[in-house]
């Protein structure tokens, strides 16, 4: 009995694991490389926003001089804009 049960488990596992290999349909929408790239960029954008906010906090706390803050903020915003532009490009419908 235990051997039959074990065999059944192995068959079930093999069926579950190899399901993507049996699928010869075109890639799903969430399998689009752009989706993965977009998720990465969204995470980078959120991290950059946090950095901009941290710089503002440091300025308000008197840790950064106005000059240092402006330089840092400019740098961070340029990086954030670069990320936003890349997100925009990815979000534009293909063919445009």
Partner 1 sequence: MPVEVHDDHAGAVQLTIFGSALLAAALLAALYAAGAGVYGGRTGDRRWVESARRAVYAMAALLTSAVVIIEIAFLRDDFGFALVADHSSTTTPTFYKLTAMWSSQEGSLLLWAWVLSLASSGVLFITRNRHREIVPWATAVLAGIGAFFVGLMIFKAQPFGHLDPAPAEGAGLTPLLRNPYMAVHPPMLYSGYVFWSIPFAFCVGALIARRLDASWIRTTRNFALCAWTFLGIGLLLGSRWSYEELGWGGYWGWDPVENAALMPWLVGTAFLHSVMVQEKRGMLKVWNVSLICGTFSLCLLGTFLVRSGVLQSIHAFGASTVGGPLLALIAVVAIGSTVLIVSRLDQLRPERRIESLLSRESIFLVNNLLLVGLAAVIFWGTFFPLISEFFTGEKHSLAAPWFNRYVTPIGVLLVLFTGIGPLLAWGRLSPSAARRLLLGPGLVALATIVVLLAVSDAGHHPWALFVFAFAAFTLAALAGEFWRAAATRRSLTGESAPRALVEAVGRNRRRYGGYIVHAGIALTLIGIAASSSFQTNRDLRLQVGQTATVGDYTIRYDKLTSDPNPERLSFVSHLSVSRDGKSIGTLAPARNYYPSDDPTAGPIGRYFMGESTSEVGLRSRAGGDLWTAFQPDLSVLNPDIKRGNDQLANLPAAAQEFAILALVQHYVQNPPPATFRVIVNPLVGWIWIGALIALAGAVMAGWPALESRQRLEAAYRARLGRELGTATESS
Q: Which residues bind partner 1 (CB under 8 A)?
A: 1-3, 5-6, 9-10, 13, 16-21, 23, 27, 30-31, 33, 35-37, 39-40, 43-44, 46-47, 49-55, 57-58, 60-65, 68, 71-72, 77, 80-81, 84-85, 88
The distance of closest approach from Cβ of residue 95 to partner 1 in the complex, given in angstroms and rounded to an integer, is 19
- Give the C-alpha separation, 88 to 82, whole Å: 10
CB nearer to partner 1: give 30 or 96. 30
Q: What backbone torsions phi and psi does residue 75 show, to the nearest 5 degrees? A: -60, -50
């Amino acid at each position: 009995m235990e051997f039959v049960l074990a065999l059944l488990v192995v068959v079930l596992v093999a069926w579950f694991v190899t399901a993507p290999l049996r699928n010869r349909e075109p890639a799903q929408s969430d399998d689009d490389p752009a989706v993965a790239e977009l998720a990465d960029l969204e995470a980078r954008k959120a991290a950059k926003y946090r950095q901009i906010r941290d710089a503002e906090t440091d300025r308000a706390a008197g840790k950064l001089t106005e000059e240092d803050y402006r330089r840092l903020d400019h740098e961070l915003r340029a990086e954030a804009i670069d990320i936003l532009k890349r997100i925009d490009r990815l979000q534009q419908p293909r063919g445009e």
